[in-house]
Amino acid sequence: MLRVGLTGGIGAGKSEVSRRLAAQGAVVIDADVIAREVVEPGTAGLAALIAEFGEGLLSPDGGLDRDRLGEIVFADPAKLERLNRIVHPLVAARMAELEKAAGQDSIVVHDVPLLAENYLSPDYDLVVVVDAPEHFQLERLLSRRRMTEEQARARMAAQVSREKRLAVADLVVDNSSSLAELDRQVGDLWTELRRRARLQPSR
């Protein structure tokens, strides 16, 4: 098994790369998807968030109001840290379960937005960073995610700098051009991952 950590700044296009790797045959384990699962209604994760931040986090249907949570934590680094202390252990445990089920011959790609922030690079055989200049990130957040500029800049500021993220990269995908160019780079990346998987010692 080759264990790959895939990360990138918000709006850099990590999800586009993740989808393309899944289509090539990678087993993709998406931390964002799991982060939603572990705080669904009835979970211990949601109960812990309510205990920490209050009943105001609940939407009328009893689920988590993510917009409200975002307003609270992305404006306050201490509150963001408290959120991470609750959610990250739950996410890590679920990711480990899914990886175990993948099989020893798999290339398992862990899609982890906050890999650099949480110093997780040693957990993987290699780290792939999806990179784009900050003005591209901002433009994508404004146009595709319908954020205000203030919201987008707050989300970007809550993450590590582009330089620190690139510092943990073994391989970089530059997503500042066309989708055709992204396809080409992901094809090359998959070839390299398969090469490295063949060289991986058996565990």
**Gyration radius of the chain over CA positions:** 17
Write out pLDDT tens, residues 135-185.
888 888 888 778 888 888 888 888 888 899 999 999 999 999 889 999 999
CATH of domain 35-99: 3.40.50.300
Residues contacting residue 159 through CB under 8 Å, at least 6 positions apart: 9, 10, 113, 114, 116, 117, 165
What was the pLDDT predicted at 72? 86
Q: 1-26+106-203, which class in CATH? A: alpha beta
d(CA 77, CA 138): 20
Portions of the chain given CATH number 3.40.50.300: 1-26+106-203, 35-99
CA angle at residue 12 from 11 to 17, to 5 degrees?
A: 115
Write out pLDDT tens, residues 118-133.
899 999 999 999 999 8
For the chain, give the mean pLDDT: 91
| Confidence grade of residue 27 (pLDDT, cut at 50, 70, 90) | very high
DSSP notation for 139-190: HHHHHHS---HHHHHHHHHTSPPHHHHHHT-SEEEE-SS-HHHHHHHHHHHH
| Confidence grade of residue 203 (pLDDT, cut at 50, 70, 90) | low
What was the pLDDT predicted at 154? 85
